[in-house]
């Protein structure tokens, strides 16, 4: 039971903040392939939610805003990022900089095609889950060897 909770925690944390999943998984001595798969699946669950329900989520939260300003610092920053990097760049930056909810909401609100969003987010999730998991795994391994020395 405790092991299943660890696996679920890696999955859940990866959907919120991508880097937390591999860090938690490595710290709890979970197998590297499992960490990679769960991290990618956690991120992609969030991306699927925002891709298929992003507009509804956005409208729901808009009801609670008092003023409906179109040009805010945040919206201008999003448009600047979009114009600079495009869909592929946003998808590749999402795990590192934007978090899965932020990147998923951004690419969906700016009107990308769902098929392309999912394709590039899958590529990004698999790439970065592998890279980050291996970096965290071997960073812990090097620290343990250095401390033991």
- 22 in a structural domain: yes
Structure tokens at 50: 């925002």
* Average pLDDT per 10 consecutive residues for the chain, totaling 149 residues: 88 92 91 95 92 81 73 77 84 86 83 89 94 88 66
CA 91, CA 56: separation in Å to the nearest integer? 21
**Total structural domains in the chain?**
1
CA 108, CA 47: separation in Å to the nearest integer? 9
- 64 in a structural domain: no
- 66 in a structural domain: no
CB 82 within 8 A of CB 112: no
Residue 149: what pLDDT? 57
* Whole-number CA gyration radius for the chain: 17
- 37 in a structural domain: yes
């Amino acid at each position: 039971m405790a092991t299943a909770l660890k696996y679920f925690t890696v999955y859940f944390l990866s959907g919120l903040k991508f880097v937390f999943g591999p860090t938690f998984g490595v710290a709890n001595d979970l197998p590297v392939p499992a960490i990679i798969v769960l991290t990618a699946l956690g991120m992609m669950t969030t991306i699927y939610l925002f891709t298929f329900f992003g507009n509804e989520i956005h409208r729901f939260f808009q009801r609670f805003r008092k003023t409906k300003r179109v040009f805010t610092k945040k919206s201008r920053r999003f448009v600047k990022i979009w114009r600079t990097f495009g869909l592929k760049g946003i998808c590749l930056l999402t795990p590192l900089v934007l978090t899965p909810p932020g990147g998923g909401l951004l690419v969906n609100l700016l009107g990308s095609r769902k098929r392309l969003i999912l394709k590039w987010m899958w590529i990004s999730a698999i790439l970065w889950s592998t890279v980050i998991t291996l970096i965290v795994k071997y960073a812990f391994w090097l620290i343990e060897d250095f401390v033991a020395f």
